[in-house]
Structure 1
Amino acid sequence: MKKSLVILAVLLGIVASLAVASSNMVVEETIGLIPTLDPAWSYDTGSGEAIWQLYDNLIQYDGSSISKFKPMISENIPSESEGTILDNGKTYVFHIRQGVYFHNGDTLTPQDVVYSLERAVIFDRAGGPSWMLAEPLLPEINGTYADSIEQWAVKLAGVKKFADLFVEGTKTPKNDKYKKALIDAFNLLAKDFEIKGNDVIIHLPHAYPPFLYILAHGVSESSILDQKWVASKGGWDGQANTWWKYHNPTREKDPLYSTENGTGPFVLERWTKGREIVFKRFDHYWAGPAKIEYGIIKKVPEFTTRKLDLLRGNANTIYVPRQYTKQIENIPNIKVIKGLPVLSVDIGVFNFNVNAIGNRYIGSGKLDGRGIPADFFSNENVRLAFEYLFPYDAFIKQVWVGQAIVPNNVIPKGLFGYNPNDPKPFSQNLAKATEYFKKAYNGELWKKGFTMTLVYNSGNTQRQTACEMIKFYARRINPKFHVNVVSELWSSFLDDYANGRLPFFVVGWAADYPDPYDFEQPFYSSNGAYGSTLGKNYVEWAKKNMNNLLTESMKTVDQTERARIYTQMNELAHNHAIYMFLDQPLAMHVQRADLKGWYYNPMRPGIDFYSLYK
């Protein structure tokens, strides 16, 4: 009897504690997964939203503004007027805030700031964000930005590729000459940084117009880490003679993959991979503790479940696909905010050279009706045929319920450099699609047909519908065109795209920082996050046609001249059908009316739990 009473008392205590917690927590339900918690690895909004809560950057955006900053780890915003931007934009002085604690109790130092930025560059995982800091921090090579520390190591050693520096299958340099080249490459980076008292002074080798944007909160790789703690976890120790051992790691073997120790307003409570992540308030946060005790992000793939949870109060805010807008409007206690400007685009990506090894997505791997060859999309006629196949206007009307526009290039409307009429967007024309399909492979493609698989990330109904539309119209113009559509979990999708296994896929690109270069470089550069994964045929084309233009666009602060260069690049991409531009959405936010403190900033991944309360 006593045992039963004790158990009952414990259960009642748990229920009571949950009731109290529920009034002091915010639950977001969405569709995405979180691939990693390492800021240097993160290059997606799922990871970015989690990292936003856990880590701080040197500076942050001022509320909803994308042009004004306010201090964060740095107590100042560098400016020429205050004498903290010098040497014609090549020197930046940051006064590092004192009394800032990491979640484990360590005190932040200026050295932690230097270490964090250096680690972001040497980390340099394939398809990752390291280019954003590598370009401003590393010297140019033959008048072109170095997107990776690998490029300098290769140049200094006099070899053809980075792998040539190491004993095969290891990260051990082959000889002392190559080891010295690796160390010298790091020293090119290290000499950018100077610490004077509580100041971190960054000396860039060249002016770089968007540098402050890259350091702002929301760019995960510029998050500030605890050097001592990272080393204790088996990460890089900050030494010049070890950095390559921590370069381009495997995601799950990265020691920061599933743990954290930031200075942000929340501490990681638990992460149940594929299901939810829970943040607990960090009471020693330098800007004061958050108003809520817990923040929770839950993966709930089905919209109906998310909607019911919102109506019942089990969720405070949810992701709503545009086609379900009417189901959520005009409901008591539910707030819907529409028409929010988004600095992002959704794009269909043609893989010029698919990784064919064991690849089920290209069928037979041959032009025999039962598959496609690995270089299928290297054929410009094939790409043009797909461009004219897609029903752009119907996609905007039916899927986005009019809450999007058809982009004509990678630069979203709202950024300088956007030109609505040059080049003119593609529109569906099945006669032209047929014409180009018949031209491809001297008519053999039209005669034999093809079989291939399009891939989208699970839960994203817009991208699923885009793939289904391609499938429908391909079969409509030729019954021998067989298109399959499959979904992958976000983490698997990212791995397959990074390893070149997807022949065609739909992705989005949200601005890392509000400058058109952040869109042009990832898509068009031979070293870009997408460009580098499209195979050797695209990489060689980009080296000849795009890389020099990208560098030229950053040599001037004249926005008119920069816009002219970007228009030239966009016309090249359009004329050669490099990508399929699908939509630039308008954002929508849905929440319960009793949730307070939410604000919109297109540079923020997800929501800011620190600002929320009930």
Structure 2
Amino acid sequence: MTFFTGLKKLIIGTAVGLCLVGCGKEETKPVKELKTTMTMDIDSLNPYKIVSSGSEEIMFNVYEGLLMPGVDGSLQPAIAESWTVSDDGKVYRFKIRKGVKFHDGTTLTPQDVVFSLNRMAGKDGFPPAKALLNEMESAKVVGDDIVEITLPNPNSAFIYALTMGIVPEANKDNLEKNPIGTGPFKVKDYSREQEIVLEKFDDYWGNKAKLDKVTVYVTPNTETAFLKLLSGEIDMLSRVDANRLKELQNFNNMSGPQNTVQIFALNNAVEPFNDIRVRKAINYAIDKDEIIKGVMGGNGIKLETNMSPVMKKYAIENVGEKRDIEKAKQLLKESGHENFSFTIKVPSNYSLHVNTAQIIAEQLKEVGIDAKIETIEWTTWLSDVYTGRKYEASIIGLSGKLDPYAVLRRYTTPYKNNFFNFSNPEYDKLIEESKYSSDDAQITKNYKRAQEILRDEQAAIYIMDPELITSLDKRIKGFEYYPTPFINFANMSFGD
């Protein structure tokens, strides 16, 4: 072999080697991973045991129901591609989408749907996932791709529970440890109290996720989470404090209604709040605009009743109430309750509500009312206020639902958690009629009239829907707010 022949082979061999290394690097695509945090750990991998909204907003990406929430509060097709309801409102028929795959690669069948419905309704010996589902009489397959649900009575609220996840019957004994759904993401890894990692599901029946991976770190300390965002350790942070937006000018800061109602609850069974004139006087004495500006930096929607305008179909419009100190003083004088004092019990772990209480206390001084603030632990608030009704006044946020019945039944006389102690026969009748009606127009009319009663009777002081502020890396596109706990990672991308 000559020197030149050897050199030629050496050059060719080196080129091939470089190609193997270089070409390999070119073919390796960077993983599109979004990192974020949640304050509390996932409370369960079993979709029928998930309770917290923080868990719901993540696990909606893993589990899908027959239906799914839309950004406008409507119900959209998911595993069911269409559905019908009988004229009497008792029979629902769902056409099951063909070709839906579970995360383990098996194909979803109508029998999996029936199993899931029976499990979530408590028909197979397990507790019902929601009390509402317990009203299901039966679920059965009535055709190749049709599942029929029968109720003993019409129930307009029932369909809203069908966003709960469908799971494979073959995995029925392992729901706690082996999360298998049909969503655009599957659970790749879960470390308790540390993180949950979601991975793109390539066989998803719908539009495939643009992100390859989502890592959610469990970060209870909000300051720690904030610093992670500033340092670039995470790409997205939910529930940002409005007072810290000045520090986030290099991020895309978005805000939107939470479908939550912040209320100043007055115990209607306790003197002097059993007098409607006192409740109305306090409403006149409060400056809601000042509260929204002071505690939310202006990021809130002023309310007059217990439904956020994000519920477009059912919410009534504000009439434009204004603060009126003289009117407040007049009503207090007429009621014979001038210059009194009372205590506002506020859960200490919610700075929003504590700060709101402080502003309200200052505002009420102008009409001669002395409001004392008592901060209490969350568990104490639940036992004393929510369950025991041992309080005079409180400030809390009531989470919204897709189902208007779930929102408005809170004020019905027999409802066990009607901690306002509000009672109105007409209101009770309107809500009861709506639940058992199949007439959509009448249901909507009833719910709007019910809200007018809450406003007219001043069942509580309705302050605002505090807008949820989310800060994102400026490369992230596709983020949207939903009127229910749901971060739709499947629609998000890094600029694609």
TM-score by length of 1: 0.61
User: How many residue pairs get matched?
Assistant: 455
Q: Does residue 533 in structure 1 map to residue 452 in structure 2?
A: no
2:299 aligned residue: 403
Question: What's the secondary structure of 1:467's corresponding residue?
Answer: helix
Q: Does residue 453 in structure 1 map to residue 345 in structure 2?
A: yes
2:143 equivalent among 196, 200, 214: 196
Unaligned runs of 5+ in 1: 1-19, 79-83, 139-188, 217-221, 234-254, 354-374
Alignment of 1:153-552 (within 5 A): 189-191=136-138, 193-205=140-152, 213-216=160-163, 222-227=164-169, 229-230=171-172, 232=173, 256=176, 260-264=179-183, 265-267=185-187, 269-273=189-193, 276-282=195-201, 285-287=204-206, 291-299=211-219, 301-303=221-223, 305-319=224-238, 320-329=240-249, 331=250, 334-338=251-255, 340=256, 343-350=259-266, 379-380=274-275, 383-384=279-280, 386-388=282-284, 390-414=286-310, 415-421=312-318, 425=321, 427=323, 429=325, 432=328, 436=332, 446=340, 449-451=341-343, 453-455=345-347, 458=349, 460-473=350-363, 481-486=371-376, 488=378, 499-500=387-388, 503=391, 504-513=394-403, 516-521=404-409, 523-526=410-413, 531-535=415-419, 537-538=421-422, 541=423, 544-552=425-433
Question: What's the secondary structure of 2:352's corresponding residue?
Answer: helix
CA contact (8 A) 1:351 1:500 kept: no
Q: Counterparts of 1:263 and 1:25 in 2: how far apart (Å)?
A: 20
- Counterpart of 1:48, as a letter, is E
CA shift at 1:379, angstroms?
3.0
- Counterpart of 1:58, as a letter, is L
Q: Counterparts of 1:40 and 1:385 in 2: how far apart (Å)?
A: 45
CA contact (8 A) 1:93 1:200 kept: yes
Question: What's the secondary structure of 2:476's corresponding residue?
Answer: coil
CA contact (8 A) 1:30 1:301 kept: no
More strand per residue: 2
Question: What's the secondary structure of 1:593's corresponding residue?
Answer: coil
CA contact (8 A) 2:43 2:51 kept: no
**CA distance 1:536–1:463, change in 2 (3 Å):** closer
2:464 aligned residue: 583
- Counterpart of 1:322, as a letter, is A
CA contact (8 A) 1:27 1:298 kept: no
CA contact (8 A) 1:417 1:567 kept: yes
Unaligned runs of 5+ in 2: 1-27
Alignment of 1:133-172 (within 5 A): 133=133, 138=135
Q: Could you list the per-position Cα deviations for residues 78-108 of structure 1 after superposition, in whole angstroms to 9, with x for gaps in the alignment?
A: 2xxxxx5554665433233456555567764
CA shift at 1:607, angstroms?
1.6
Q: Could you list the per-position Cα deviations for residues 334-370 of structure 1 after superposition, in whole angstroms to 9, with x for gaps in the alignment?
A: 22334x45544322334568xxxxxxxxxxxxxxxxx
1:240 aligned residue: none
Q: Counterparts of 2:389 and 2:31 in 1: how far apart (Å)?
A: 46
Q: Counterparts of 2:50 and 2:405 in 1: how far apart (Å)?
A: 19
- The higher radius of gyration belongs to 2
1:51 aligned residue: 59
Query: In percent, how many aligned pairs have the same letter?
Result: 22
